Amino acid sequence: MKHYEIEHMRAEKGILYLSITPKHEWDKLKFYAGQYATIGFRSDNGRRSPMRCFSIVSSPLDNDRLQFAIRIHGRFTQSLSELPIGTDIYVQGPFGEFVVDNKQDSNLVFLAGGIGITPIVSIIRTLSWLGSSMPMTLLHGYRTADIPFKNELKTLKQKNLRLKTYHFVTQDPVPAGEFNVLSGMIQKDHIRQVTSGRYVGSTYFVCGPKPFMDKMSELLIDNGVDEDRILTESFAQSSKIYAGNGMSVQKLTYGFASALLVIGIIGISFIDLSRYVPRIAHANAVPANSISTPPSPITSSSGNSVTSGTSSNSSNYSTPPPSNYTQTYQAPVTAVS
């Protein structure tokens, strides 16, 4: 658990822009551009809030603070937006594999819906600040003309000639003079135009509401893009309550109860077995002067001996990106705190 405090925040057009700073040097969160964290706080009555997950919009190059852009919708986000400056914020993470791999990725296409642009802004900020020559193209759909981060992205694009941005407004009229702001939703033809019809070869980062991600992923797959080249951030903003290890409270409860049941069964079986094994062993004891014959090996159909054994294939939720990524960004995250 990391301890932060609110440095600055503002609510604008239904979006909470939150900046928090670590209370101690050891509280600084090491993360990769594109990852997310869970945050919580204490209410006025001293009760701890649930931990909710939000994408980090700041760059890991600026680890003196964490920044989030959160849609104010529901009790948690409303309460968060009303906290005073200096309030303690609890942070866990980082989580997620929505990150760039410099060895695998050479051309990036970002498809964002709504506030799903937040992890993508972190990636674009980081690559632009590092002076990366990797081509990046952003297609961002938003309901109104009040597009989050539009001005910052415009500034980054002026400094990074490898960055192209296009915004799509679904409800409001398109502002005059905005040549890169289009009316309507992101369609197949738009992606075909920005890729020059060569879908294969790019890596696609898709983030937004689930229907949006499903539609974009299906469109890409239909045009020959391998699923390994499509990265999605699948959690819904603030939709899950997390315990200390990143597991949902419901799953943690069920898992703990199941573990207790299994331990109980094993314990009872061991006690019963300990009562009867000595008697069985005594009854079947082999005389000291006898010669026992070793069992024949199990053979396969080809006649070769087969040795029995076990194999494991475990996965780590917090596995860091490849080492080549860290050469450009920072030291790998070895564990979730």
- Over residues 253-309, the pLDDT tens digits come to 344 445 555 555 555 555 454 554 444 344 444 343 332 333 333 233 333 333 333
- Check whether 243 has a pLDDT greater than 50: no
pLDDT of the residue at 24: 95
For the domain covering 108-233, report its CATH number.
3.40.50.80
Tell me, yes or no, if the pTM score tops 0.85. no
- Check whether 197 has a pLDDT greater than 80: yes
Tell me the average pLDDT across 310-337: 32
User: Considering only 10-19, 89-98, 144-153, 311-320, which range has the smallest mean pLDDT?
Assistant: 311-320
pLDDT by residue (tens digit) across 160-170? 999 999 999 99
- From the options 3.30.70.1230, 3.40.50.800, 1.10.10.10, 2.40.30.10, give the CATH code of 2-96: 2.40.30.10
Rg (CA), the chain: 27
pLDDT of the residue at 219: 94
Q: Mean pLDDT for the chain? A: 77
Tell me the average pLDDT across 41-54: 89
Tell me the average pLDDT across 79-93: 96
- Check whether 326 has a pLDDT greater than 60: no
Tell me the average pLDDT across 111-121: 96
